[in-house]
Amino acid sequence: MRVVVIGAGVAGLALARGLIGAGHRAEVYEEAPEPRTAGGSVSLWPGSTAILGELKAEPAARGVGRRLETLESWASDGRRLLTIDLTAAERRYGHPCVHVSRAELVEGLADGVPVTYGAPAVHVDPGRALVRLADGREVRGDVLVGADGRRSVVRRALRGGDPAKLSGWVTWQGFTATPTELTGDGRAVMIAGREGLCGLIPAGRGRLLWWFDVRSGPGRPLWADDPDPVARLRERFGGWTAGPLPGVLGDLGEPDFFPHHSQSVPALWGEGPTTLAGDSAHTMPPTMAQGANQALEDAWLLTRSLGDLRGYERARAKVVRRPARLAATEATNMQRPIAGLLPDRLVTRFYTWFLRRASNYLLTAP
Ligand SMILES: Cc1cc2nc3c(=O)[nH]c(=O)nc-3n(C[C@H](O)[C@H](O)[C@H](O)COP(=O)(O)OP(=O)(O)OC[C@H]3O[C@@H](n4cnc5c(N)ncnc54)[C@H](O)[C@@H]3O)c2cc1C
């Protein structure tokens, strides 16, 4: 089949890669003039590293990223409250949890995929799987997939409007290259307090991803117009003494800023020969670290479902709603000392179970 894919993010590239591997003809149109590799790093759970293995784009095989062994919750004074053993999920599902920069993930997926850059889609006819590009060219497939992110033009043509709303939280994030006790480690750490949440995760090659999630008031996201957000972060989190945090606050570099959005996920995403994949179908806040994982899950199932697009949407909607609903509560930003009362083994078992419930790949694996 000839499949036209709009958007060369994680969803579009993984889909095109899978389709080409399965013998289909896939062509990707991307509005940016070159690969979009900005935006920190992402955690990938066992379903996703398995899918990347099938796509021959596994981070470990390319010597990028960092295998994660634990996910830890600390208090702002550095007390360890809870440890989830991620090697339990690795043993159970046979694939690791990995943290990798978006640049390295996108580069691995894009290798060998035909992408036309600088080609924004401006008009979509979903019933005919037809797209007009900004230069006036029309492209048409047997199937059309909108993998064009939260502001998707394909979704707008299908359903109108933008269902995603600001959740009231924002993320400030970046890499620090200053060596810390966590940089060469397999520990992902989340530190919660009244001021917000800080995350620290090694991303390989001497980088540590840091991020701060802070709650905004109504209206404009917090510090969106502030000329010196680094100073604001230091003021707000300067009293925290946990582990390497004081040193990290001294070397924040140029942070990126992401307001959180969430939406409810409908049962059906498309019509006729047109469907969606990735954030265009299910934008969620980054709090469960699931958006890129769910994009890979879409790509994996859609590659196998070209003849039954509504079946693909139903099967994915049922599963993707689980992390999307949890992420929308922003609950992980509001961990309380009660986390210290929960037994590590119990939470590890729950998290291992949840990772399967959030993955069509793992749910169908033997
Ligand atoms: C701060 C932050 C941290 C995150 N951390 C994690 C994490 O740890 N784990 C995780 O799984 N997820 C994480 N995510 C979420 C994850 O990054 C996204 O869910 C994922 O990248 C979505 O991929 P996508 O391909 O659907 O969309 P996108 O990455 O948005 O790609 C869409 C592409 O479509 C292109 N496009 C848009 N409009 C058009 C058009 N009209 N014509 C042509 N092209 C177009 C865009 O330029 C873009 O390249 C995080 C997100 C944020 C903001």
pLDDT digits (tens, 9 = 90+) for 222-234: 788 888 999 999 9
Q: What is the average per-residue pLDDT within 171-194?
A: 92
pTM of the model as a whole: 0.97
Q: Is 229's C-beta closer than 6 angstroms to any atom of ligand 1?
A: no
Question: Taking all residues of the chain, what is their mean pLDDT, rounded to a whole number?
Answer: 94
Residue to mutate, 13, 37, 42, 212, ligand 1, most ligand atoms under 8 Å from C-beta: 42
- Three-class SS of residue 318? helix
Q: Is 148's C-beta closer than 6 angstroms to any atom of ligand 1?
A: yes
41, pLDDT greater than 80: yes
Q: What is the average per-residue pLDDT within 60-77?
A: 94
Tens-place pLDDT, residues 295-336: 999 999 999 999 999 999 999 999 999 999 999 998 877 766
Atom number of ligand 1 nearest to Cα 283: 19
Using DSSP bridges, classify how beta strands 25-29 and 187-193 pair: parallel, antiparallel or unpaired. unpaired
Query: Residue 126 carries which DSSP code?
Result: G
Angle at the Cα of 327 from the Cα atoms of 322 and 332, rounded to 5 degrees: 125
pLDDT at residue 177, as a whole number: 84
94, pLDDT greater than 90: yes
Q: Which of 164, 160, 361 is nearest to 271 (CA)?
A: 160
Give the domain ranges of the chain: 2-164+262-364
pLDDT band per the 50, 70, 90 thresholds, residue 53: very high
Tens-place pLDDT, residues 20-35: 999 999 999 999 999 9
In order, the DSSP letters of 141-185 are -SEEEE---TT-HHHHHHH-S---EEEEEEEEEEEE-S--TTTTS
Q: Is 330's C-beta closer than 6 angstroms to any atom of ligand 1?
A: no
Tens-place pLDDT, residues 233-277: 999 999 999 999 999 999 998 899 999 999 999 999 999 999 999
| From the candidate CATH numbers 3.90.960.10, 3.30.70.270, 3.50.50.60, 3.40.1500.10, the one assigned to the domain spanning 2-164+262-364 | 3.50.50.60
